A and B are shown apart, each in its own frame.
Chain A
């Protein structure tokens, strides 16, 4: 049996936003006061039963939580090893875990009396989830998105517009998630008194990594409960993909104290391990500063952020949340990566064997789980965080496979 023992993890971050050595707040002075106010507002909200009740009600009746834990029977047979179970964040309203965070932050936005929201997005799932929360509450919404991501996640771009959000293309740098965060930060520099920035992952300056982790932890809390009812115990292994790391942090955090459960985070291995070919800072990077936080990052010897690659827009990011760096340093979570090809193979396999189209991001976790399942005995269980659905990826997959779409 697992025992709650690792108390230290419950106490991070500290008041300065440190997870061990990682985290902190490396931002221009212009933003510091707003981050202080956000941290205070979040502390008050956290202790406010009404806030929690309102969020719970939204998660239940608007998002459709709890999301199911599905046994993947044919996939398990195919891998001939441990049982594979899927935590179905793809079945949430808007099709991914991102909505758990955006509803929470939208409630915070209103508590702070702000009426305008900005966000960045990579895969577009966070953009859609932010646009959705803003439509639901009548908030103005502007989403920054790299041009390359606008191309490869076109369906989500159109959804955001239908939901009343303005999508602003970002043409600087690599035209992906990293540049979208830069642009959102720049907007916030000039709008901070009237605008809340709904950051979409466990990255950025304190208190974002904590707030996003806490809002996403509903994933792990439900999973613990569902495992106890559906298979009368906890799994041996839990696997999640890591872009910025929010679905993984939300899934892992409630499991941290259960030392017998092994936790595996999967980064994007892209086309291989040469620099520029992958997006795996925890595997190949080193600690440094990016986007307001001290964490593992892909940088050159001068501290310039490197270009990275993943076919999956949501994982195509050179940094990672500071709590993952902390979990890597304590050894509580192990991190690995899967290539584009492995993820694509996992996507195809799940589609045909289970009738589920996973997001390309989630397919990375799935690929790792399939490999691990084969090496483990049939009485063990692996839970995979299926962070989102793959409909948004259909046209990009057609392009990658050289097939015509439609």
Chain B
């Protein structure tokens, strides 16, 4: 059983839900990323997604794109990111997963990437540009190491295909709330609750919703039908203020924001 499986087994047994914030590694530097991860877990996050900066992120909106660009301009390297995760993972109670382009994993080597996650105590990965048809090799590498390979279902995924994806995903299933790129949205699609509720009945896998979520009202609306909620751009936008507003103040703000979303989960 992977750490993520354990997390959701425990949450389900207590009838609780997960808040899963996202942060870009290396924005503005890895020390700060490490501090943000600890702060978010300390404020009630159940799992943290760590974005590995990529030069051509086609699923990402302006906020996350800009954070990747800043991190890469500061010359952050994959090896350093993995080392940072290795240091922070034992210090936090929540599992960590990397959000990473297949371009990066392929270049690094599938086995090597999987081995290094295990060595660093990272629990899995989300590969947003790797649809199920292309994922069998990576899936095997992950299975062999008890790493979770989280796959995505979107509003454009036909139902039969969604079922196929639930069978290959591990850890949880990432339900993308909108057809579109990452970014905060004021309105979420009207049929979102219904779609997720349907999917959650089809699979024993935990279902978590991401993309567009930023407000406590979103959290209150969605948590009853999901196992967890993922918040990305709203965190990244706050973290981006570290340079101008100061690190302590930014950390404090991120912590309070995460706590406010966690509070809305109940």
Interfacial residues, chain A to chain B (CB-CB below 8 A): 16, 24-34, 172-173, 178, 182, 185-186, 189-190, 192-193, 288-292, 294, 299, 301-305
Contact = CB atoms under 8 A, between A and B. Distances in A.
A33 B157 CA distance: 6
B101 interface: yes
B103 A303 contact: yes
B112 interface: no
A305 B180 contact: no
A173 B55 contact: yes
Interface in B91-134: 101-108, 128-131, 133-134
Contact of B154 (A30, A290, A299, A304): A30
A292 B101 CA distance: 11
Interface string B66-85: 00010010000110000000
A16 B133 contact: yes
B224 interface: no
A303 B101 contact: yes
B107 A299 contact: yes
Contacts of B60: 186
Given A26-B130, A288-B103, A303-B101, A189 B158 contact: no
B156 A33 contact: yes
Contacts of A192: 156, 179
Contacts, number: 115
Q: Which 9 A-B residue pairings sit nearest by Cβ, starting from the closest?
A: A303-B107, A190-B180, A303-B104, A185-B58, A289-B103, A28-B59, A304-B55, A30-B154, A305-B55
A207 to B, nearest CB: 13
Given A172-B65, A189-B58, A303 B108 contact: yes
Contact of A302 (B59, B107, B131, B157): B107
Contacts of A299: 103, 107
A27 B181 CA distance: 12
Given A30-B155, A186-B58, 18 more contacts: A25-B133, A28-B58, A32-B156, A32-B161, A33-B156, A33-B158, A34-B156, A173-B56, A189-B58, A189-B181, A192-B156, A193-B156, A288-B106, A292-B58, A299-B107, A302-B78, A303-B103, A304-B54
B104 A29 contact: no
A353 B58 CA distance: 45
Nearest to A35: B131
Interface in B196-210: none
B153 interface: yes
Contacts of A291: 56, 58
A294 B65 CA distance: 22
B26 to A, nearest CB: 12
Interface string B36-63: 0000000000000000001111111100
* Max chain B C-beta neighbours (<10 A), residue from A28, A178, A182, A292: A28
B140 to A, nearest CB: 17
Select the residue from A16, A31, A299, A304 with max chain B CB neighbours within 10 A. A304
Contacts of A189: 58-59, 179-181
A29 B157 contact: yes
Contacts of B54: 303-304
B176 interface: yes
Contacts of B161: 32-33
A24 B138 CA distance: 15
A29 B154 contact: yes
11 contacts: A26-B103, A26-B129, A26-B131, A29-B154, A172-B65, A173-B55, A173-B56, A182-B57, A289-B101, A303-B54, A303-B104
Nearest to B180: A190
B152 interface: yes
B176 A29 contact: yes
Contacts of A33: 156-158, 161
A32 B157 contact: yes
A186 B61 contact: yes
Contacts of A288: 103, 106-107
B58 A182 contact: yes
A172 B61 CA distance: 12
B31 to A, nearest CB: 20
Contacts of B105: 303
Contact of A303 (B58, B106, B154, B181): B106
A25 B131 contact: yes
Contacts of B157: 29, 32-33
B42 to A, nearest CB: 30
A292 B107 contact: no
Contact of A30 (B57, B65, B77, B176): B176
B167 to A, nearest CB: 15
Contacts of A31: 156
A26 B156 contact: no
A192 B133 CA distance: 20
Contact of B131 (A32, A193, A301, A303): A32
Contact of A28 (B129, B155, B165): B129
Interface in B206-265: none
A349 B179 CA distance: 51
B77 A302 contact: yes
B102 A289 contact: yes
A370 B157 CA distance: 52
A188 to B, nearest CB: 9
B69 A29 contact: no
Given A299-B103, A302-B107, A304-B72, A190 B181 contact: yes
Contact of B179 (A16, A178, A190): A190
A136 B69 CA distance: 39
Contacts of B77: 302
A310 B63 CA distance: 30
Contacts of B61: 186
A134 B57 CA distance: 28
B104 A30 contact: no
